[in-house]
Amino acid sequence: MKYAIFTVMTPDCSLERTAQLLKEYGYQGVEWRFTNNDPSKKNEQPSFWGNNLSTVPADSTEEELAGIRALMDAAGLEAPNLASYIGCGDLAATERAMKAAKQLGAPSIRIGVPNYDRSRPYDALFAEARSYLQEAEKLSAEHGVKAMIEVHHGNIASSASAARRLVDGFDPNRIGVIYDPGNMVHEGFEQYKMGLEILGPYLGHVHVKNAVWQRTDASVPATDSADHAPVWRSAWGPLREGAVHWPTVIAALKEIGYDGWLSFEDFSGSAPTETLLRDNIAYIKSLVG
């Protein structure tokens, strides 16, 4: 297997520093966070989804992207995927990201599907997502860059089986799925090997992180009530200590013959960025063998 990071986890590192650290610790790839940072957060402390210094702007020029590609080449890094933040149905952003991915050498981009918030029925959200995927498939054929949805809590593809239902029938060379066991701690857990088998040819990429369940101060209600605070909540956790048993996940990946990318995105804040980059890859490599 090959190792990369999703640079949302290195918010305190510039693009140059990120590339330098990845080379130093033995990573082969970088999955760039591809979006425009909120300019109002520019003077804030670096953070995962705020002032993230390891972000490639979505409005980067061809010249700027060429400079990033040169930075990657100098560090011996590939781009397994471009981690774009694209809303469902935004075809202009989809095409822009595909063009950027091609320039950076990335074979795929991440695209979005609707969140499920109970304001609209699932069937309507499903139809909307399928319509968008049909257009994304056409753009993929045009630009030679695959579009991948992510198994993610909160959206209508929160499990492997829900993701497979969404992409079923599309060309797996054009439409794929990012498998993310860490997200499935929050919502969507299925037995790992079964989920991977369900995804079948649509499995394109794997994200590596962990999460935990924490007991809150809320008391158990005498009767069920929608406005009662939950007794348990999910939160990000250290890779070795969370609810995801990574030895089992790695074993399942090996059993199905997966030999692709493992892309780390540790949001635990349990250690400095450089320490996490060093220790996480060492831990997963020890499991892969």
Amino acid identity, position 61: T
Smallest CA-to-CA distance from 55 within 104, 88, 27, 13 is with 13
What's residue 81's pLDDT? 98
**Residue 231 phi/psi, 5° resolution?**
-75, -30
Whole-model pTM: value is 0.95
Distance CA 22, CA 75 (A): 8
From 98, 70, 80, 67, select the one nearest 29 (Cα to Cα): 80
Helix (H) or strand (E) holding 56: strand 55-56
DSSP E strands in 201-275: the ranges are 203-208, 210-215, 232-237, 261-264
pLDDT tens for the chain, residues 1 to 289: 999 999 999 999 999 999 999 999 999 999 999 999 999 999 999 999 999 999 999 999 999 999 999 999 999 999 999 999 999 999 999 999 999 999 999 999 999 999 998 889 999 999 999 999 999 999 999 999 999 999 999 999 999 999 999 999 999 999 999 999 999 999 999 999 999 999 999 999 999 999 999 988 766 665 555 566 778 899 999 999 999 999 999 999 999 999 999 999 999 999 999 999 999 999 999 999 9
Strand 261-264 with 232-237, pairing: unpaired
CA atoms within 13 A on the CB side of 132: 24
How many angstroms separate the Cα of 7 from the Cα of each of 92, 98, 132, 172, 258?
24, 18, 26, 26, 23
The per-residue pLDDT for 221 is 62
The pLDDT, as a whole number, for residue 265 is 98
Report which secondary-structure segment, H or E, holds 55. strand 55-56
